[in-house]
Structure 1
Amino acid sequence: MASGRKRTKGDVCEAFLGRLAERGDVELDAVLLEGIRQHFDSLPTRYALDVNVDGLDVLSHKRLLDEARADPTTVSFAVRPVEIVAQRAESALLHELPRANSRKLGLCRPAFGSSPNLQALALEVGERAEGQEAEATAVGSSRSADDHAVFYEITIASVDQPKLLSRLSEALGDLGLNIREAHAFNTNDGFSLDVFVVDQWQPQQLARLRFVCLSSKHQPSCRCAPQQRHARVCSGGGAAGPRPESPAVDDWEIDITQLHIEAKIASGAFSNLYKGTYCGQEVAVKILKDVHDDSSQYQEFLQEVSIMRKVRHKNVVQFIGACTRKPNLCIVFEYMSGGSVYDYIRREGPLKLSAILKLAADVARGMDYLHQRKIIHRDLKAANLLMDENAIVKIADFGVARVIESSGCMTAETGTYRWMAPEVIEHKPYDEKADVFSFGIILWELLTCKAGGAVPYSDMTPLQAAVGVVQKGLRPGIPLNCPLPLAELMEACWAGNPVQRPSFRELAPRLQALFTMALEEEKRQETKPVATKQGLLSKLRGK
């Protein structure tokens, strides 16, 4: 490179490629060469001028950004221990700190060098450690230099967002990490690469860092680069120090280090649902997005935890625990391998009458239990009903559920329009009979299921449907194949006057009796010759 000429990104990129070629341990094909050049070109010049081109940091940054680009909802991060190089005032020689750990672990230098303040801190730590070693040697102590502090580098790649650096810094602070240095870069295609140097890292914080990424707004999942796996090993020694005190106040507060996320199941406006394991058990994990203390979402989260930890019934999804400590807000409950009833009826197509009535009876029993405990679900629909491996239906998603106050009624408009009772739509006082109305719509869903699925009032927008329900008494059409007893029960559930609707205490045994009748009739039909078979629907209709 000519002297006196300012270096460009291209100069640094070619220098880095030259060093890779000299190393001989990286296979440089045409695709990788072009990818590295595009990586440098996408980042500002100061990235090229500051990054360490003697190591493999550039390849790590490229991989993290590539993962984020492959799925813009993804946050990729890596954690690794690093050594800080400080220069003693009395010597022109560089002094590596902490010496014993760097020898033992073979630590890398930070990707972007070290500021004078960070070097001063490292020098202070090293001098203190040397003094302790000298003291230990003098008295014959077995104290080891392995007790010295080690610094850590956390690299995060994601879609760029307003105030992202500030939010990440705050989140790392909430984890108890002291940020000693930060570097932030934006790519020309809208992504962010943020690099933090921290101290006092502990291996337990790895799971909590994952949740910081999972719960960030518009960032519902994370992918952990290979350095993270290395950090598990390298940062997990005795030097890590004691585990931070847990603010848990109840035995249902989970140990976040025992929770492992495997895959995303579903996504919502304020939370995402994941499959994972907790203490070796398969679980579902509901993780909240970007929730603040004073937000309504946070209050609903606390309300959901409060309700779920109080209920235990065969037909209500089982609560396992929750983390109410920022930034790891989540609820853990049993994993339902059968998925939602909404998906099930669309996957299976038209169901036998006995199958419909069994599903309905399961829901009625679970809702009866909740109403007996003064809990209104307020968003009852097929999508919020889950099935286990034995096809038992369990009520889920208590995000907007409430305990009935002493007055016995509420006025807030809550739920989903197509399933919402008219009194809820009109903001009139309502009680648990609003859930009964929604149950009537669920019965219609079960009866009309088919490939592709049927949605109530599918030819209208949700708001148009709501107006029709209130002003015109609109209800879904009764399917032609619906037995008369079930049609009457369904119409009673969605009666305009809540007083006229049956309670789940009445519905559960009625549905169980209809299920028993249907099952017996289907068995009899299976044993009859084809010519003499009569359909149950005709029998129930009196034909």
Structure 2
Amino acid sequence: MFHSHVCMRNSMGCIKKEQTQMSEERWEIPFESIMDLKRIGSGAQGTVFSGKLKDEIVAVKKVKDLKETDIKYLRKLNHENVIKFKGVCTQTQDFGIIMEYCPHGSMDFILRDEEFLRPARLVAWAKQIALGMQYLHDHKIVHRDLKSPNVLIGANKTVKIIDFGMSCEWNEISTKKSFAGTIAWMAPESIRSEPWSEKVDIWSYGVVLWEMLTCKIPYEGLNSSAIIWGVGNHSMNLHIPETCPDKLRRIIEFTKKSFAGTIAWMAPESIRSEPWSEKVDIWSYGVVLWEMLTCKIPYEGLNSSAIIWGVGNHSMNLHIPETCPDKLRRIIELCWKVEPKHRPSFKLILSHLEKVEFFQ
């Protein structure tokens, strides 16, 4: 009986090992198996191509370093508003990450082509981004670079959050310190290279809300130093349009309670490199709402230094249009609360968005 038990245990071990190997083989995709590659864009973290894998159109992000393909902790992600990772290419010098393909491109291009975003579309995208970010936070993943260029529009105009190059897993009490993200979207604590938490994403979300609200580039015209200074010391904020609904303004204000992200979307605590949490994404979300509301670039015309100074010391805000519905205005304002702990969670933001009847 003992012998049978040992054999059974060994057999189960072999089966589990084989299953792991099969899983790894499915995750590893030979580069030569991807056909009809066409360049569709490039950025600081790599060039992106569209291609055909079997009968499916996929996106292929070529990266320079093998370690950039080490995203196994992202394989488990499965949400409608988070990009789906299909595998990696590591067997040749053509290192790459294979993802689902989004035919409508990134949100920032759509916003820059519009003078304003239709209210119904703004609210729909705001909810979808919040749902995707809530899912990431529920899985203990902090994005740290949430911004409109990292939001793709897939089939049926569905939002897909992408580019986890700076993301990481966090515990409840984070002591992480780093300077990661794109300045205009960064939370003050990230900018100041102080300990951070998932709240840095909340700040960035506020900036994204602002982008959707205004269709502008956050802190446009300001150099990085100005944004770092202004957001870092809370003297600069994106102005929420007067027309912004109160609830949306409140959400944005909540997000602005927070140095990872792009300056114009960054929460003050990120800019000041102070301890941060997922609330930095709430701030950035508020900026994205503002972008959708105005179809403008947040802080357009300002150099980075001015944005850093203004947002960092809370002396600068994105102007919310007068035409913004009160409830939406309130959401944006909440996203941009100075104290990260006073910014809402994406769950609370979603509950507020349900009440923005003006946009239905």
Sequence identity percentage: 35
Q: Is the 8 A contact 1:422 1:496 kept in 2?
A: no
Q: Which residue of 2 aligns with 1:488?
A: 330
Q: Is the 8 A contact 2:45 2:165 kept in 1?
A: no
Matched, 1:390 2:156: yes
Question: Following the alignment from structure 1 to structure 2, what is the Cα–Cα distance between the partners of residues 473 and 453?
Answer: 23
Query: Gapped runs of 5+ residues in structure 1?
Result: 1-245, 292-297, 521-543
Q: Which residue of 1 aligns with 2:95?
A: 329
Alignment of 1:52-91 (within 5 A): none
1:272 to 47, 60, 67: 47
The one-letter amino acid paired with 1:467 is W
Q: Which residue of 2 aligns with 1:147?
A: none
Q: Superposition RMSD on alpha carbons, in Å?
A: 2.4
TM-score, length-scaled by structure 1: 0.46
Matched, 1:466 2:308: yes
How many residues are aligned here?
264
The one-letter amino acid paired with 1:457 is Y
Higher relative contact order (CA 8 A, sep 6+): 2
Q: Which residue of 2 aligns with 1:476?
A: 318
1:432 to 198, 209, 217: 198
Q: Is the 8 A contact 2:75 2:85 kept in 1?
A: yes
Q: How far does residue 250 in structure 1 lie from its aligned partner after superposition?
A: 4.2
1:455 to 283, 297, 307: 297
The one-letter amino acid paired with 1:489 is I
Bigger radius of gyration, 1 or 2?
Answer: 1
Q: Is the 8 A contact 1:307 1:398 kept in 2?
A: no
Q: Which residue of 2 aligns with 1:206?
A: none
Question: Following the alignment from structure 2 to structure 1, what is the Cα–Cα distance between the partners of residues 354 and 103?
Answer: 25
Q: Is the 8 A contact 1:261 1:274 kept in 2?
A: no
Matched, 1:416 2:182: yes
Q: Is the 8 A contact 2:115 2:296 kept in 1?
A: no
Alignment of 1:118-517 (within 5 A): 249-289=24-64, 291=65, 298-299=66-67, 301-303=68-70, 305-405=71-171, 407-449=173-215, 454-514=296-356, 517=357
Q: Which residue of 1 aligns with 2:276?
A: none
The one-letter amino acid paired with 1:373 is H
- Post-superposition Cα deviations, 1:252-306, rounded to whole Å, max 9, x if no partner, equal 11132311243111112341011111112101110013x3xxxxxx54x145x22
SS at match of 2:332: helix
Q: In the superposition, relative to structure 1, how do residues 501 and 450 fare at CA in structure 2: closer, same or farther (>3 Å)?
A: closer
Q: In the superposition, relative to structure 1, how do residues 470 and 288 fare at CA in structure 2: closer, same or farther (>3 Å)?
A: same
Question: Following the alignment from structure 2 to structure 1, what is the Cα–Cα distance between the partners of residues 359 and 210?
Answer: 20
Q: How far does residue 478 in structure 1 lie from its aligned partner after superposition?
A: 1.6
Q: How far does residue 466 in structure 1 lie from its aligned partner after superposition?
A: 1.5
SS at match of 1:363: helix
Question: Following the alignment from structure 1 to structure 2, what is the Cα–Cα distance between the partners of residues 481 and 264?
Answer: 40
Q: Is the 8 A contact 2:215 2:297 kept in 1?
A: no
Question: Following the alignment from structure 1 to structure 2, what is the Cα–Cα distance between the partners of residues 513 and 302?
Answer: 41
Q: How far does residue 464 in structure 1 lie from its aligned partner after superposition?
A: 2.6
SS at match of 1:419: coil
Question: Following the alignment from structure 2 to structure 1, what is the Cα–Cα distance between the partners of residues 156 and 111?
Answer: 15
Q: Is the 8 A contact 1:317 1:394 kept in 2?
A: yes
Q: In the superposition, relative to structure 1, how do residues 284 and 509 fare at CA in structure 2: closer, same or farther (>3 Å)?
A: same
The one-letter amino acid paired with 1:444 is W
Question: Following the alignment from structure 2 to structure 1, what is the Cα–Cα distance between the partners of residues 336 and 120?
Answer: 22
Q: Which residue of 1 aligns with 2:237?
A: none
SS at match of 2:297: coil
Q: In the superposition, relative to structure 1, how do residues 450 and 494 fare at CA in structure 2: closer, same or farther (>3 Å)?
A: closer
- Post-superposition Cα deviations, 1:304-355, rounded to whole Å, max 9, x if no partner, equal x224312010111111111133412101111100111111122343122111
Please list every run of at least 4 consecutive aligned residues from structure 1 whose deviation after the TM superposition is greater than 3 angstroms: 246-250, 450-453
Q: Which residue of 2 aligns with 1:120?
A: none
